[in-house]
Structure 1
Amino acid sequence: MINYLKSENYRLLHKKSIYMTSGICLFLITAAALVLYIFHQSDPGFPYGTSIFLYSNVISSGIVIMIVGFLFNTALTGKDASVMKQAVSFGISRNTIFWSKLIVTLSYFLLLCLIGLILVISLGESLFVSEELSIRNFLAASFNMLPIVLSGFFIIHALKMLKIGDIYIIIILFFLIIFSGDLLRWLLGSFSQLNEFYRYAPSTLLNDNLMNFMDQSAQFDYRFWITGIAISLIFLIIGAMRFTNKNID
């Protein structure tokens, strides 16, 4: 598996799309901070020239972060069926292929997230007046987002490996991030013992996380990890099992 990991790592590092995606993401973060700073400098009464507002844009961008994860994952799970077929013909197991591609793409995606997090904090604290506990609340809210973002990445990987169409994957992500809580509340509303389950839906959790951050009361919430781990395990187990028996055309 180590040799195949090295091979996939080499392939990923020679994909121009990874560098373009990373560069665009970091540029947009920097541009957003600079725009807020310029408006604040030209108008001291501008209400959004604060580090908290800059950080809130990150906390509210769960679907955008997952789209970035989608682009990273596509680098090794896109139009490379011939490469996978060749690997299988050389005796590489399906499990090795499935997990190696996941480990490599996830590693670089998390590295970009870490760099982006450091960049946002650096810009927020250098361009705007430092606000009490803003970094602590931002880190707490970001940590809460982590399992939901990871579950989205695992969903993308499992479905891409099974050759599910990109449009369907995007629809699933939008559903989870935007509509899952409302749907669960509607479905379980008549069951008094179950109607609180909507609070564990990804969309509900992310909305609560943003509101708590804006109130400067963000703190670790175990619900994110219960939901994230459950979704991750379901899709990874099913994805790995189905990929083992799937024909590679």
Structure 2
Amino acid sequence: MINYMKSENYRLLRKKGLYMTSAIGLLLITAAALVLHLFGEYEQNFPYATSAFFYANVIGSNILILLIAFLFNLALTGKDISLIKQSISFGISRSTIFWSKLILTLSYFLFICCIGLFLMIALGENLLASEEKSISNFLIASFNMLPIVLSGFFMIHMLKMIKVGDVYVVVILFFFYIFSGDLLRVLLRGIPGIDEVFKYAPSTQLDENLMNFMDMAAGFDYRYWVTGIVISVLSLLIGARKFAKQNID
């Protein structure tokens, strides 16, 4: 597995798209901070040149973060998926292929996320008006987001490894992470015992996390981790099993 990961890592580091996605993401963060700073400098009574508002934009940009996760995962599960047949012919197990691609793309995605997190705090605290407890609330809200975002990454990996088309992957992401809570709320309304299930939907929890942060009342909530772990485990189990059995063209 180590040798296969080394070869995949070599190919991954030669992907220009990986660097472009990383650079664009970090530039967008920097541009957002600069725009808020300039408006705050040149427009009187501008209420949004604060670190809290800046951080809230990231806490509320869940689908954008998941689309970046999609692009990172695509680096080894896009056109390169056609090389799997060749790898298998050289004796590489399907399990090694499935987990190696996941570990590598996830590692680089988390690395860029960490850089983005530190960059945001540095910009927010130096360019914008800092509000009391804004950093601690931001870190707590980010920690609550983590299992939901990871579940999305694992779902993307599962779908791409079983050859689901890119458009369908994006549609599924939008459904789970934007509309699932509202849909469950409507479908299960008035059904005793399960009418509160919508509170565990990823979209509901992401919205709740944002609202708590905006109220400066962010706090660790284990329910986010329950939802994230359940989706992650199911996605990886389904993906590994289906990939082990599917035909490789």
Q: TM-score w.r.t. structure 1 length?
A: 0.99
What's 1:50 paired with? 50
- Consecutive unaligned residues of structure 1, counting only runs of 5 or more, are none
Residues 59, 210 of structure 1: 8 Å contact kept: yes
Counterpart code for 1:132: E
Q: What does residue 122 of structure 1 align with?
A: 122
Q: What do residues 173-205 of structure 1 show as CA deviations (whole Å, max 9, x unaligned)?
A: 101111101111112112121111110001110
CA distance in 1, matches of 2:8, 2:185: 42
In 1: Cα distance, 2:99 partner to 2:114 partner: 22
**Are 1:111 and 2:111 an aligned pair?**
yes
CA contact (8 A) 1:155 1:232 kept: yes
> TM-score, normalized by length of structure 2?
0.99
Q: Secondary structure at the match of 2:4?
A: helix
Distance 1:46 1:135 in 2: 21
Are the counterparts in 2 of residues 59 and 141 from structure 1 also a CA contact under 8 Å? yes
Residues 1:225 and 2:225 are matched in the alignment: yes
Question: Is residue 72 from structure 1 mapped to residue 68 from structure 2 by the alignment?
Answer: no
- The 2-side partners of 1:160 and 1:174 are apart by 16
SS at match of 2:190: coil
Q: How far apart in 1 are the matches of 2:120 and 2:33?
A: 8
2-side partners of 1:138 and 1:199: how far apart?
22
Q: Residue 144 of structure 2 contacts residue 224 of structure 2 at CA under 8 Å; is this kept in 1?
A: yes
Whole-angstrom CA distance in 2 between matches of 1:12 and 1:106: 12
Alpha-carbon distance between aligned partners in 2 of 1:125 and 1:65, rounded to the nearest angstrom: 22
Give the aligned partner of residue 40 of structure 2: 40
For residues 80 and 111 of structure 1, the distance between their equivalents in structure 2, rounded to whole angstroms, comes to: 22
The one-letter code sitting in structure 1 at the alignment partner of 2:58 is V
Cα root mean square deviation, aligned: 0.7
Q: For 2:87, give the aligned amino acid.
A: A
Percent identical: 66
Q: CA deviation at 1:129?
A: 2.2
Matches of 1:171 and 1:44 in 2, distance apart? Answer: 42
After TM superposition, list the pairs within 5 Å mapping 1:1-249 onto structure 2: 1-249=1-249
Gap regions ≥5 residues in structure 2: none
Q: Secondary structure, in 3 states, of the residue corresponding to 2:103?
A: helix
State how far apart, in whole Å, the 1-side matches of 2:128 and 2:39 are. Answer: 12
Give the residue type in structure 1 aligned to 2:52: I
* Separation in 1, partners of 2:83, 2:202: 35
Kindly provide the amino acid, as one letter, of the partner of residue 179 in structure 2. Answer: F
**Contact 1:81–1:248 (CA<8 Å) still a contact in 2?**
no
Shift of 1:36: 0.3
Letter in 1 for 2:243: F
Shift of 1:248: 1.5
For 1:158 and 1:128, the matched residues in 2 are separated by 40
